[in-house]
Amino acid sequence: MMRRWSRWVQLLSRREAGTSLALLRIALGLCALGIFIDGFALFSVLWVDIEHGGYRSLGDGPWLVQWMGGPNPDTITTLLWAGVTSATILITGLGSRLWAFVTLQILLALASTNGHAGGSYDELLSNGLWLLVLAQSDTTLSIRCYLKNRKWQDEELVRAWPRYLAIGQLVVVYTSTASLKVSAHWLPGGDASALYYILQQPSWARWDLQWLAWVFPLTQVATLGVWLFEAGAPLLLIAFWYRHTRTRPGWLRQFMNRIDYRRVFCWVGVSMHIGIHALMVVGPFSWISLAFYVALFHPDEWQHLIEVAKRSRPNQASPTTKTPHQMA
């Protein structure tokens, strides 16, 4: 028992550069910013009480809305502008823990004002913002870093466990989603018609997709592929364990490390979410889910990509270098 406890403490004490968490901060901040900006278009209907022109009675609203005067246009407009401000500061990386908390409270207030006007993406983004409250995500790629070091990047080490939790959150999202798809239209062995019927519903379909009847077998393949991908999400945790114990024997461990299952997971997941966004109206769910993908890669891997990007930029002429015209 003590040995297991020591391993657990060692895992939670592990430190790494802050690049992955910084990118997670930026990605989730952009998602929150997009939600607040989009809110200006429909707030007078969705988050305003019927007494002030909304479509339903909202009561007094959650504590923050109630404290600010109730769900009226002035309160909601103030909250949206505050959300835009806090999300922007969060993205820039100045006092990230504080502004992640502020952004979270504003998001929760709006989502709780009208339960009809949100979705599961609100909970997913809220969980991500809570991780940023707990994480040290502004040590690099941030204004804080620039003010401290006069450069945008720094190799200061941070706790790695918030990144691990972000990976765990991604696995929970997909696994729980698959567990809810238990009809014969989704499960292997059924008719795999779920996506076809979903894409024929005006409330979900982004476009007129009646033509999918001509390629119905392709929608069946997509249905089975989505369910298997989501139900197989725990394989991602196994893949990370195999990477951590890569020196141990076992053909499955060697195979998953050789193909780098994380990359396979990313290719499939990104393709799935792009397809969902292109064909269906599901709000910002796809973008929020993809924001968590940055946690799948170690900071050293992101740093390598940053260095490659820097080297690939065209060389700019030095101020002291004479051009052919000047030399002539």
Q: What's the confidence (pLDDT) of residue 4?
A: 81
Task: Calculate what percentage of the chain has a pLDDT beyond 70.
Answer: 96
Could you read off the pLDDT of 4-39 as tens digits, one per residue?
888 778 878 899 999 999 999 999 999 999 999 999
Gap between the Cα atoms of 129 and 107, Å rounded: 10
Could you read off the pLDDT of 164-222 as tens digits, one per residue?
999 999 999 999 999 999 999 999 999 999 999 999 999 999 999 999 999 999 999 99
Q: What's the confidence (pLDDT) of residue 10?
A: 85
Q: What's the confidence (pLDDT) of residue 306?
A: 87
* Single pTM value for the model: 0.92
Per-residue pLDDT, averaged over 220-249, amounts to 96
Q: What's the confidence (pLDDT) of residue 243?
A: 94
Gap between the Cα atoms of 142 and 89, Å rounded: 10
3-state SS of the chain is CHHHHHHHHHHHCCEEECHHHHHHHHHHHHHHHHHHHHHHHHHHHHCCCHHHCCCCCCCCCCHHHHHCCCCCHHHHHHHHHHHHHHHHHHHHCCCHHHHHHHHHHHHHHHHHHCHHHCCHHHHHHHHHHHHHHHCCCCCCCCHHHHHHHCCCCCCCEEECHHHHHHHHHHHHHHHHHHHHCCCCCCCCCCCCCHHHHHCCCCCCECCCCHHHHHHHHHHHHHHHHHHHHHHCCCHHHHHHHHHHCCCCCCHHHHHHHHHCHHHHHHHHHHHHHHHHHHHECCCCHHHHHHHHHHHHCCHHHHHHHHHHHHHHCCCCCCCCCCCHHHHC
Q: What's the confidence (pLDDT) of residue 121?
A: 93
Instruction: Indicate the pLDDT class of residue 321, thresholds 50, 70 and 90.
Output: very low
